[in-house]
Structure 1
């Protein structure tokens, strides 16, 4: 049910994704992304289930998230015992990936850090030529870490790269703790 809600959340925020298809398949993305996640010390993809012939909903393993962030060591007193809320939706055009939605929340610092780390790993996966600095700059430009006092909170921010158009939205916490990014891949070539 949570995965279906994630798909609906991304669809409600951004509408359907329309782009030229890229040559990246769902299986290849998962393999490359899992390799990058391991390199970055993050939890791997636990499972991807086909919602239909056009999309897959994916969840991440929670093991590292739950063991590296201990509620006893949380100085903000906001982590609790919750599981990682980050998930991913892969939208296909034929056999190739058209877009990727990454969904999470920013209700606690741990959740926002987890979401941001997965976003940066995903951007490195689909744009391997990008440096760490470039990916971090894209994350800042997308406003992923902005708070409620930011003047444009609640408005989507967009970054265009040669491999994708990335659009992220986070709302004031009074509206929603959800955060989502839609990455629409560009045609390879």
Structure 2
């Protein structure tokens, strides 16, 4: 039998005897990684599920709007029945030959078939932005202090043969391919 020493007692308490610490650390790390992986997988699953539900609701809203825009000269959609964002509604309306006009007094959106889109272009800044869209393939506009809203910029871009997207700090106007 060996004599007692303070170092021997401390090593026994800390788990250094017969590989105890090595086994505990390895098992602990494996368990921590397993729990962390489970959290990551759960988070990704929830994010994908929520994203699919949002996309499904958006597609359903676009489908309902397209049903309302069936060739009538005027269509009215109350704000309460409308589940789309204004840029989605604007692009859907323009794709089907309608102009979108929000009517806050009547609490509805009004769609006019064949009318030019003028509801969002009354801002004097629109003339400057239209002048910048002179045929170049790409134009960037700083979004931080821009007084025009995204729907206004979408109408302006569409009328000049561009698409517009908000990319972090800039609105990017990209020319349609094949457009003179």
Structure 2-normalised TM-score?
Answer: 0.25
Please identify the structure whose Cα radius of gyration is greater: 2
Relative CO higher for 1 or 2, CA cutoff 8 Å, sep ≥ 6? 1
More helix by share: 2
